Structure 1
């Protein structure tokens, strides 16, 4: 199995520890990982801002860098979803189709491709999961509260294998945090209020650490937490699986 690692631009620039943790988690699971040095942004920010067709160059560059891998893995549900569902704006060659079919968010890859049942990770903390919209409703990493059916969650399944962790039940467990890419800039007041509501839900339910699959959402929440000096930490799920704090 030949796996290409895609690290989103905001992780590369602001949260490199998440990229490092992702690599180390995959290596601990005996996956051969290659990081193509020519990779750049997947094009999602331009698409979110209404300039999707100006991202064609970024899309083609992504395909060029990742077309020869069996799988592409990224610590970002939103980026994985964007490649899977929005790369219809470029010519649908075999390479493009293969990349779109074979890109996975990290948890999705570990649970559904590697089918890992046990993890050697230790994290003795009360954890609340922020289920980002792209991962939940786009990639179907879990069941949605508005749909009647048997509940499931790839993220919870994975975290439940971490020694010492206690997953805390939230009151509104799949509500948007308000980030929404450039929505947080163009609709600042609404975005902030939504983020504050999500943080309060975690605080009300005794959460010590908020985690999730999208650093973009976690960045939004962390900024509000830091500004308001609230007693809660934020970590990407890769950092927990990699046992970065004890």
Structure 2
């Protein structure tokens, strides 16, 4: 029997990195999942919540609960630890003690970021046909590490990719400086943090800078492109889907 999965594609992935979403589907199907996509899905509500619009965020989050009904009992998998962290943790602030608490708990226990789903739920630590030649360094996004407790799963999967060698950078757990609206409100600080992260990555001699979150990678890639630095950013789903 295939493992039943609902995929949640964050709004910025849908609009800016659709290939990453498709690659996640490719990987999930390759490991025996039956993938379902609800075209009515939109956003988890995080942008509004982080900007201080709790009421508006709650409206969006309630739609998320409707889009992924508890009675379906399918895993919810996303290529974004940031969005999963919002659903898993911040929804408690929105729904505890409300009539939607039961629905929230049902969604909370089924929501996973891609790599933790593969490793911790399915017990898969390698995608056999994945291949990418070069050296990589890994960026621990704040959401993945601090909100979801994800650290080893992505490294296990990446280390099993044929042709790929890991080089850990200094301060890999330090924030990249994106932080959503933080990058807009505190541009100078945000850019300085991106510079520090990229310089640490370059110091390893890696060809690729890889992470679980396209939001971090989008921020870092903007700095890399502007400064014409010799390193390429990749989402882990794109790496796991490469070479086959």
Distance in 2 separating the partners of 1:139 and 1:244: 29
2:116 aligns with one of 95, 108, 113: 108
Distance in 1 separating the partners of 2:33 and 2:230: 36
Indicate how the Cα distance of structure 1 residues 244 and 12 shifts in structure 2: closer, same or farther if over 3 A, else same.
farther
Q: 3-state DSSP class of the match of 1:117?
A: coil
1:72-111 map, 5 Å: 72-88=76-92, 89-90=94-95, 91=98, 92-111=100-119
Q: Give the 4+ runs in structure 1 shifted more than 6 A.
A: none
- 8 Å contact from structure 1 (residues 4, 69) kept in 2: no
Paired residue total: 235
Q: 3-state DSSP class of the match of 1:32?
A: strand
- 8 Å contact from structure 2 (residues 126, 156) kept in 1: no
1:210-229 map, 5 Å: 210-229=209-228
TM-score by length of 1: 0.92
Q: 3-state DSSP class of the match of 1:62?
A: helix
Post-superposition CA distance 1:78-122 (Å, at most 9, x none): 100000111121334432211011100000000000101332211
CA RMSD of superposed structures (Å): 1.3
Structure 1, unaligned runs of 5 or more? 143-152
* Alignment-derived partner of residue 141 in structure 1: 150
- 8 Å contact from structure 1 (residues 3, 69) kept in 2: no
Q: 3-state DSSP class of the match of 1:176?
A: coil
- 8 Å contact from structure 1 (residues 77, 213) kept in 2: yes
| Range 87-96 or range 214-223, more displaced | 87-96
The CA deviation at 1:76 is: 0.3
The CA deviation at 1:174 is: 1.0
Structure 2, unaligned runs of 5 or more? none
Post-superposition CA distance 1:26-66 (Å, at most 9, x none): 01111011010100010000111111221112111111111
2:244 corresponds to 1:242: no
1:14-93 map, 5 Å: 14-67=16-69, 68-88=72-92, 89-90=94-95, 91=98, 92-93=100-101
Distance in 2 separating the partners of 1:118 and 1:76: 19
